[in-house]
Copies of this chain bind each other. A is one copy, B any other.
């Protein structure tokens, strides 16, 4: 009765992936506060399976976005190397960041909510995205391309907030306002 090694692990991995895909879809439709049951149904698994793989809601949320976060992080050094100036790199990177936030209904609000259950996600973003953004911002700083006094954390948090969309304030508006915010970080032209 011994099965090929790893068959079970492979099945487990597939279950996990299915849950992540389902969660991503449900989050888009209902936001990250969607009932766990809805995700289980969408994934075609039992509720218990969700809890086994992701004990807390934040674990699930974090896992859902981890891949995209990692992609975003990896982009930073590449943009810095390729772009004509640090600020251009920052701008492009923020575009990617916004793209990520804006397509994830409710994520921005979740981050802004101070919900203690989302500490993990918060931590993840701090530990990974923040250094990426900070690297770019520091490069801008060093090149005198942004006003002093702006911290990467605050800026990214502000961008996150600006990406909380809703009726009458859509993704295009969010992009517009983020661009305006970035414009506001430029040093005041000296006479």
Chain A residues engaging chain B, CB cutoff 8 angstroms: 109, 112-114, 149-150, 153-155, 157-158, 161-162, 164-169, 173, 176-177, 179-185, 188-189
- Beyond A153-B168, A161-B162, A166-B113, whether A185 also contacts B189 by CB under 8 A is no
In the complex, residue of chain B having the shortest beta-carbon distance to the beta carbon of A179: B184
Residue in chain B with minimal CB distance to A114? B166
Residues in B neighbouring A150, C-beta threshold 8 A: 176, 180
**Contact among B112, B181, B188 for A181, CB-based, below 8 A:** B181
A185 to B155, alpha carbons, bound, how many Å? Answer: 17
| Chain B neighbourhood of A183, CB < 8 A | 183-185, 188
Chain B residues within 8 Å of A114, by CB: 165-167
13 contacts between A and B (CB under 8 A): A109-B164, A112-B164, A150-B176, A157-B173, A158-B162, A158-B180, A162-B162, A164-B164, A180-B185, A181-B181, A181-B184, A182-B184, A184-B185
